[in-house]
């Protein structure tokens, strides 16, 4: 059951008594239902603990490579189990009195997040071996548990807890490479900025609670519809949007992205770029659209109303401009991917803007396929950096000779990011821009943003072509270092590339879920 | 007819097979590519024999694709599509024949080549705007790699410029199409549905949408002033790619203008018609004049392509049945002729002499060393000038007559272009093959014995004589390709009805009736 249109229907003036801060009566506590709904998270956490236990007991003296393989294998089993549970439970609706909601968006997002984690685990088998592999994989699982909870949360407290669980895990993952000062710098920057934005978010949540008297999003929607905008609500909105901007790496809250993407170990960067983005988008979509939808405002025409939609439009435009233009100057592949992430964040924000009118389909498709492509790209970065150093674009020279499969996968991922049909990235952009133009043609900010994004995609093609040019056109260096790719990583990358192609040729596989 | 969609699938399969075959040997890749292209062309010709032209396009495939957006996998063919499909098959086969000597990374070359061809087949067969756009953009990336890896002069710059211009053009098209789709209720991307929805838009919106879509497509068609990518890109490209780019890919842009922009927004065409016609005429004249002063023979051909495409765009702008039929015929004709010209200049001359500078070539008297090439180039030059007996004549004549119907001034101005074309074609033919102009002396006249030549003359020409001694004979793929292309130009030149019988009925379709008005052709 899709809760978003239901709540929007409720917003049209159905009055119901406030049920107070506690939305549940004692008789409604369905712990069995909660346990059933949380089976994926249970599997993930149990898997993480099992990995730690096994590693401490049996593998203390084994070589790091063996420990990594064992940890990745165990973690993958846990993720697959979680995926099976998630698909088994399906879209069952509200859980535990509305704390969680498993609607079509929630279930699809949870499944996509688990698949993205599988990709990240697969590429971590091919990247440089971390000092403590078991802890690494365990923390990836904790982060994933946080993501899946974020995707289903319908209550302010749970949303914040899930966000914190995921974020703290990601801070640790970013700084996992103890031998690299860049990794420590990345973790520190990520942590400081992330902690500040979490503080903003919590303060915003507390203001919303104060205004509405409840922490349940559906109830908040009803109360705010009745109350209308107020200065205090504006402050709360600003706080929430700041946190959203940080999470999505949108300008002007993007400053952490280039340094974190550059310093973190490649699989961590892959997870941050893919899973964290998708989970953040879903969480804030749920927060903004049903929750704060009453004070959304207008972007279909040039009349600027009060509300958070015009602010999102400004963030989106700034990210598109800054991300695309700054990426032109990059010589480091990781920083280029970071600025491209900022540009894509702009388009994703546009996707969030259109959720109110076109549903969550376009933005989900875009975020999921973008995550797949970026995770794959970082996976290739991880493989190529195995011998050390941060990959410069020039370091890709002659990749098509040195490893044709890797070059082929890189081509698919980069072209998907560039939005070249028939790959998935094109249809994601297409769906979002079509929905944006539906909001009122080119008369309003949504339409202008769509046209600007389409034109900026030509700029983006330039820097993406530079990357594949190095891989395919530039001659290989005189003594090319042999590229040893672990079979698991290679299989993961090929599977991800195939998924990008198939999801592109048959977009209905994902778009049809909504 | 039902097998026409297999041209796309065959080409894609051939691309992957070529890549695999290339690992074994270059020869295997070549034969796989040739087989695939010939098979696809064979399918088109088979469909052509059973093709009965009608006003409405005949649907080949119509499957649900993206229900939430209203996009369908809808392939259809009418007379105009058939004409261009025949051209694609011909140009593709000839292009592969002329790329027979690619020795490095052969499998990858033909993989990119066949992917490009698959995209082109897809564009000509699409009846759904979204599908059209997908195939249109699909063709951009293989072009980049073909030029950047196997090209010559300034290839990285040329490849990037071509790719960015093409992508920018298609970005404009996407903006316009999405705007029309969204304003029309966002139900369906079928061209017929979009047209009926767009007919209800206010004129101002139609004008703006037409501008976006038409000029977006016109970038790829080489309309002045968006044409600067074409000479650079075509010169940089390897021979087979230049033949395909100038011959077929530029036609994608013109086809888009005809199939998408014009039927969807008739009010827009009415507004922009004079501007487009004058830009086309300026393109014809300006590109011709620039071609006249080039030192690199491939640049001459590149600019001549822009000039000939100007005729196509003029025909479309005149918007009456005679002019538009002439424009489609010119698309076919120029595709063949440009292929011939690039083949001679690139494969036959440059690959042997390693120079394209007219200053150098005039000293080699290639008509003695490469008589076959000289013959082909003279024939191609005559065809390019619009000489009767070749396909260019009925095409350009039709366009000029149609343009006269719309405005005599346009026809008069464009006819000057024919004169300029004669000038630059004769110049390039003479300088490339027929030695020193003016004094009637051929430097190789004394080729029988060096001692009998003037000593000072010998010193100057020793290098060129050494070069000319190393010229390899014309190979069988080159002969085959040249004969194919010349036959097509002659057959259509002598009996243009073969194609016009397809093209003219298609212009009677309801989609075209609203925008292509005027007397019967």
Q: Which of B179, B205, B237 to mutate to test the interface with A (most CBs of A within 10 A)?
A: B179
Give the closest residue to B398 by CA, choosing from B329, B456, B465, B332.
B329
Residue B438's pLDDT band (cuts 50, 70, 90): very low
Answer with the residue of higher pLDDT: B506 or A341: A341
What average pLDDT score do residues A421-430 get? 93
What span, in angstroms and rounded, lies between the C-alpha atoms of A158 and A101? 11
Angle of helix A231-248 versus helix A333-353 axis, rounded to 10: 140
Dihedral angle computed from the Cα positions of residues B109, B113, B115 and B118, in that order, rounded to the nearest 10 degrees: -160
The residue among A403, A299, A316 whose CA lies nearest residue A366 is A316
Chain A positions with Cβ closer than 8 Å to B: 361, 400, 415, 420-422, 426-427, 430-431, 433-434, 437-438, 441-442, 447, 450-451, 454-455, 457-458, 461-462, 465, 469, 472-473, 507-508, 511-512, 514
pLDDT of residue A227: 84
| A343 vs A224: CA distance, rounded Å | 32
3-state secondary structure of A140: helix
Q: Are A436 and A450 in contact (CB under 8 A)?
A: yes
CA angle A453–A456–A458, rounded 5-degree value: 125
Question: Could you report the per-residue pLDDT of B482-509, keeping only the tens digit for each?
Answer: 999 999 999 999 999 989 999 998 888 8
Average pLDDT for A12-30: 49
CA distance A244 to A449: 19
Contact assignment for A441 to B179 by CB distance below 8 Å: yes
Euclidean distance between CA atoms B281 and B362, whole angstroms: 32
| B168 with A458: Cβ contact below 8 A | yes
Q: Which of A412, A441, A467 to mutate to test the interface with B (most CBs of B within 10 A)?
A: A441
DSSP secondary structure, A467-513, as one string: HHHHHHTSPPPSSPPP----HHHHHHHHHHHHHHHHHHH-THHHHTT
Would the pLDDT of B451 be above 50?
A: no
For residue A512, which residues of chain B lie inside 8 Å, CB to CB? 67-68
CB < 8 Å to A434, chain B: 69, 178, 181-182, 186
Q: Which residues fall within 8 angstroms of residue B243, CB to CB, at 6 or more apart?
A: B91, B94, B95, B98, B338, B339, B342, B343
Q: List CB contacts (< 8 A) between B108 and chain A.
A: 400
Average pLDDT rounded to a whole number, residues B395-417: 92
- Tell which phi-psi region holds residue A93, choosing left (phi > 0), alpha (psi between -120 and 50) or beta: left
- pLDDT at position B447 is 43
Neighbouring C-beta atoms of residue B109, cutoff 10 Å: 28
> What is the spatial distance between Cα A183 and Cα B9, in angstroms, rounded to a whole number?
48
Flag whether pLDDT at A3 surpasses 70: no
Residues B416, B285 contacting (CB under 8 angstroms): yes
Please name the member of A472, A507, A508 whose beta carbon is closest to the beta carbon of B145. Answer: A472
Q: Which two tokens mark A354?
A: 């259109």
* Residue B141 near chain A (CB below 8 Å): yes
Q: Report the distance separating Cα A380 and Cα A388, nearest Å.
A: 14
Q: How far is B201 from chain A (nearest CA, A)?
A: 12
Does A437 sit within 8 Å of B160, measured CB to CB? no
| Cα–Cα dist A36/A40, whole Å | 9
**pLDDT above 70: residue B184:** yes
pLDDT at B449 over 50: no
Contacts of A316 (CB under 8 A, 6+ apart): A250, A346, A347, A349, A350, A353, A449
Q: Return the pLDDT at A16.
A: 39
Q: Is B68 on the interface with A (CB under 8 A)?
A: yes
| Whole-angstrom distance, CA of residue A181 vs CA of residue A159 | 33
Q: What is the mean pLDDT of residues A476-504?
A: 89
pLDDT classification of B283: cutoffs 50, 70, 90: very high
Cβ–Cβ below 8 Å for B167 and A457? yes
How does pLDDT run across B252-279, given as a tens digit for each residue? 999 999 999 999 999 899 999 999 999 9
Does residue B66 sit at the A interface (CB-CB below 8 Å)?
yes
**A12 pLDDT tier (thresholds 50, 70, 90):** very low
Say if B207 is an interface residue toward chain A (CB within 8 Å): no
Residue A102: in which H helix or E strand, if any?
strand A100-102
Inter-chain touch B138–A421, beta carbons under 8 Å: yes
Distance from CA of A421 to the nearest CA of B (A): 5
Cβ proximity of B142 and B95 under 8 Å: no
Residues A215-234: pLDDT tens digits?
A: 898 888 888 888 878 888 88
Q: Which of A1-15, B6-20, B111-125 has the lowest mean pLDDT?
A: A1-15
pLDDT > 70: percent of chain A: 92
User: Is residue A85 within 8 Å of residue A148, measured between CB atoms?
Assistant: no
| Contact of A425 with A370, CB cutoff 8 Å | yes
CB contact under 8 A, A458 and B167: yes
How far apart CA A273 and CA B460 sit, in angstroms, is 65
Confidence of residue A293 (pLDDT cuts 50, 70, 90): confident
Chain A residues whose beta carbon lies within 8 Å of the beta carbon of residue B148? 469, 472-473
ipTM for the complex?
Answer: 0.90
Q: Give per-residue pLDDT as tens, A69-101.
A: 999 999 999 999 999 999 998 888 888 888 899
> Are B179 and A512 within 8 A, CB to CB?
no
- Using a CB–CB cutoff of 8 Å, tell me whether B55 touches chain A: no
pLDDT band at B348 (very low <50, low <70, confident <90, very high): confident
DSSP-derived pairing of the beta strands B71-77 and B58-66: antiparallel
Lowest-confidence region among A138-152, B157-171, B340-354: B340-354
Helix (H, G, I), strand (E, B) or coil at A449: helix
Confidence of residue B198 (pLDDT cuts 50, 70, 90): confident
CA-wise closest residue to A369 among A277, A272, A503 = A503
Q: Under an 8 A CB cutoff, do A508 and B68 touch?
A: yes
List the single residue in A454, A458, A511 with the smallest CB-CB distance to B66.
Answer: A511
Interface probe for A, chosen from B67, B68, B213, B229 (most Cβ of A below 10 Å), is B68
Give the model's pLDDT for residue A176.
93
User: Any chain A CB within 8 A of the CB of B202?
Assistant: no
Mean pLDDT of A309-316: 90
Region B400-404: mean pLDDT is 94
In this prediction, residues A349-358 reach a mean pLDDT of 91
Q: Are residues A426 and B67, on separate chains, in Cβ contact within 8 Å?
A: no
- Determine what percent of chain B is predicted with pLDDT higher than 90: 66
Residue B326 has pLDDT above 90, yes or no: yes
Q: How far is B226 from chain A (nearest CA, A)?
A: 15
CB-nearest partner of B171 from A457, A472, A512: A457
Q: What is the CA radius of gyration of chain A?
A: 22
Option in B67, B163, B168 nearest A465 (CB) = B163
Token pair 């001679």: residue: B344
Measure in Å the smallest separation between the Cα of A508 and chain B Cα atoms: 5
> Is it true that the peptide bond before A252 is cis, omega within 30 degrees of 0?
yes
* Mean pLDDT over each residue of chain A, to the nearest integer: 88
Average pLDDT over residues A439-453: 86
Question: What does the CA dihedral A301, A302, A308, A312 come to, rounded to 10 degrees?
Answer: 100
**Cα–Cα nearest to B145, from B189, B91, B108:** B108
Q: Which of A427, A434, A511 sits opposite B186 (nearest CB)?
A: A434
* pLDDT tens digits, one per residue of A133-160: 999 999 999 999 999 999 999 999 999 9
Chain B residues touching A427 at Cβ < 8 A: 66
Lowest mean pLDDT across A167-176, A318-327, B51-60: B51-60
Query: Is pLDDT at A19 greater than 60 in this prediction?
Result: no
Find tokens 């002033």 and name the residue.
B225
Chain A and chain B share a number of CB contacts under 8 A equal to: 89
The pLDDT value given to residue A20: 42
3-state SS, B179-220, equals HHHHHCCCCCCEHHHHHHHHCCCCHHHHHHHHHHHHHHHHHH
* Per-residue CA distances from B415 to A53, B395, B401, B412 (Å): 86, 13, 10, 5
Alpha-carbon distance B322 to nearest alpha carbon in chain A (angstroms): 36
The C-alpha atoms of residue B205 and residue B209 are separated, in whole angstroms, by 6
- Minimal Cα–Cα distance from B164 to chain A, Å? 6
Q: Does B186 touch chain A (CB under 8 A)?
A: yes
Q: Using N-to-C axis directions, what is the helix angle for A308-327 and A231-248, rounded to 10°?
A: 30
Determine the 3-state secondary structure of B57 from DSSP. coil
Provide DSSP, A188-244. Answer: HHHHHHHHHHHHHHHHHHHHHHHHHS--BHHHHHHHHHHH---HHHHHHHHHHHHHH
- What is the per-residue pLDDT across B202-248, written as a single tens digit (0 to 9) for each? 888 899 999 999 999 999 999 989 999 999 999 999 999 999 999 99
Task: Say whether B137 and A433 touch across the interface (CB within 8 A).
Answer: no
Tokens standing for residue A125: 């088998």
pLDDT at B458: 42
């Amino acid at each position: 059951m899709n809760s978003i249109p239901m709540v929007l229907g409720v917003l049209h003036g159905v009055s119901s008594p406030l049920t107070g801060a506690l939305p549940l009566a004692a008789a409604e506590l369905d712990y069995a239902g909660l346990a059933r709904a949380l089976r994926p998270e249970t599997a993930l956490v149990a898997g993480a603990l099992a990995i730690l236990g096994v590693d401490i007991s049996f593998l203390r003296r084994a070589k790091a490579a063996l420990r990594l393989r064992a940890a990745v294998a165990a973690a993958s089993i846990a993720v697959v189990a979680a995926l099976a549970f998630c698909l088994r439970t399906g879209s069952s609706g509200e859980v535990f009195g509305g704390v969680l909601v498993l609607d079509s968006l929630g279930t699809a997002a949870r499944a996509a997040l688990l698949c993205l984690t599988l990709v990240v685990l697969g590429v971590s088998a091919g990247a440089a071996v971390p000092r403590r592999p078991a802890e690494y994989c365990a923390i990836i699982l904790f982060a994933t548990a946080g993501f899946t909870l974020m995707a289903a949360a319908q209550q302010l407290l749970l949303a914040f807890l899930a966000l914190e669980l995921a974020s703290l895990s990601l801070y640790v993952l970013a700084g996992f490479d103890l031998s690299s000062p860049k990794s420590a710098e990345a973790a520190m920057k990520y942590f400081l900025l992330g902690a500040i934005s979490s503080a903003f978010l919590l303060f915003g949540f507390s203001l919303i609670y104060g205004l509405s008297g409840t922490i349940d999003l559906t109830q908040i929607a009803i109360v705010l519809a009745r109350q209308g905008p107020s200065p205090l609500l504006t402050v709360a909105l600003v706080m929430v949007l700041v946190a959203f901007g940080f999470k999505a790496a949108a300008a002007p809250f993007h400053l952490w992205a280039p340094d974190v993407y550059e310093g973190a170990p490649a699989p961590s960067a892959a997870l941050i770029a893919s899973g964290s983005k998708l989970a953040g988008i879903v969480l804030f979509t749920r927060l903004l659209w049903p929750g704060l939808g009453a004070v959304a405002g207008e972007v279909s025409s040039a009349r600027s109303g009060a509300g958070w939609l015009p602010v999102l439009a400004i963030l989106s435009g700034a990210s598109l401009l800054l991300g695309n233009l700054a990426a032109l100057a990059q010589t480091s592949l990781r920083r280029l991917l970071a600025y491209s992430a900022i540009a894509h964040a702009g388009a994703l924000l546009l996707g969030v803007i259109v959720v109110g009118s076109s549903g969550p389909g376009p933005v989900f498709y875009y975020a999921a396929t973008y995550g797949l492509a970026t995770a794959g790209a970082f996976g290739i970065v991880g493989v190529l950096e195995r011998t050390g150093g941060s990959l410069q674009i020039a370091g890709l020279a002659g990749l098509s000779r040195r490893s044709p499969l890797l070059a082929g996968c890189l081509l698919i991922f980069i072209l998907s990011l560039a939005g070249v049909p028939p790959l998935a990235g094109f249809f994601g952009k297409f769906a979002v821009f079509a929905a944006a133009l539906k909001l009122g043609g080119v008369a309003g900010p949504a339409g202008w943003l769509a046209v600007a994004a389409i034109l900026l995609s030509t700029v983006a093609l330039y820097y993406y072509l530079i990357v594949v040019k190095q891989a395919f056109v530039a001659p290989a260096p005189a003594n090319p270092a042999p590229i040893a790719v672990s079979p698991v990583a290679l299989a993961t990358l090929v599977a991800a590339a195939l998924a990008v192609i198939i999801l592109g040729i048959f977009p209905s596989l994902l778009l049809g879920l909504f | 007819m039902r097998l026409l969609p297999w041209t796309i699938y065959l080409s894609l399969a051939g691309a992957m097979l070529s890549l695999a075959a290339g690992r074994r040997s270059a020869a295997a890749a070549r034969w796989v590519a040739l087989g695939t292209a010939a098979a696809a062309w064979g399918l088109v010709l088979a469909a052509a024999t059973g093709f009965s032209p009608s006003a409405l396009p005949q649907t080949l495939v119509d499957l649900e694709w993206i229900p939430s957006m209203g996009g369908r996998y809808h392939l259809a063919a009418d007379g105009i599509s058939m004409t261009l499909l025949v051209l694609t098959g011909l140009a593709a086969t000839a292009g592969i024949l002329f790329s027979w000597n690619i020795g490095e990374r052969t499998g990858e070359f033909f993989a990119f080549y066949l992917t490009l061809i698959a995209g082109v087949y897809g564009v000509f067969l699409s009846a759904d705007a979204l599908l059209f756009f997908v195939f249109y953009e699909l063709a951009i990336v293989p072009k980049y790699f073909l030029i950047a890896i196997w090209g010559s002069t300034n290839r990285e710059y040329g490849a990037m410029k071509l790719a960015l211009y093409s992508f920018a053009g298609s970005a404009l098209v996407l903006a316009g199409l999405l705007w029309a789709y969204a304003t029309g209720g966002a139900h369906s991307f079928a061209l017929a549905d979009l047209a009926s929805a767009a007919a209800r838009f206010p004129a101002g919106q139609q004008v703006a949408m037409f501008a976006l879509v038409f000029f977006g497509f016109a970038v790829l068609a080489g309309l002045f002033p968006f044409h600067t990518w074409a000479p650079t890109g075509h010169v940089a490209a390897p021979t087979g790619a230049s033949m395909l780019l100038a011959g077929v890919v530029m036609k994608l842009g013109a086809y888009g203008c005809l199939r998408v922009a014009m039927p969807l927004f008739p009010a827009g065409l009415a507004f922009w018609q004079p501007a487009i016609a004058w830009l086309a005429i300026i393109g014809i004249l300006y590109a011709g004049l620039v071609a006249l002063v080039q030192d690199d023979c491939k640049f001459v051909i590149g600019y001549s392509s822009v000039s000939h495409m100007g005729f196509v765009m003029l025909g479309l702008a005149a918007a009456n049945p005679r002019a538009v039929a002439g424009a489609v015929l010119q698309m076919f004709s120029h595709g063949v002729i440009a292929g011939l010209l690039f083949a001679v200049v690139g494969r036959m001359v440059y690959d042997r002499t390693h120079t394209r500078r007219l200053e150098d070539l005039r000293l080699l008297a290639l008509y003695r060393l490469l008589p076959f090439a000289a013959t082909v180039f003279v024939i191609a030059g005559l065809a390019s000038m619009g000489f009767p007996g070749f396909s260019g004549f009925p095409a350009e004549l039709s366009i000029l007559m149609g343009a006269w119907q719309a405005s005599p001034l346009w026809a008069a101005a464009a006819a000057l272009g024919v004169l300029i074309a004669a000038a630059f074609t004769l110049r390039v033919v003479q300088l490339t093959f027929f030695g020193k102009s003016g004094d009637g002396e051929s430097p190789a006249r004394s080729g029988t014995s060096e001692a009998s030549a003037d000593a000072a003359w010998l010193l100057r020409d020793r290098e060129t004589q050494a070069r000319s001694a190393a010229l390899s004979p014309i190979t069988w793929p080159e002969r085959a390709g040249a004969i194919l292309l010349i036959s097509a130009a002659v057959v259509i030149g002598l009996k243009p009805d073969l194609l016009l019988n397809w093209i003219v009925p298609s212009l009677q379709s309801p989609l075209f009736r609203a925008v292509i008005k005027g007397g019967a052709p």
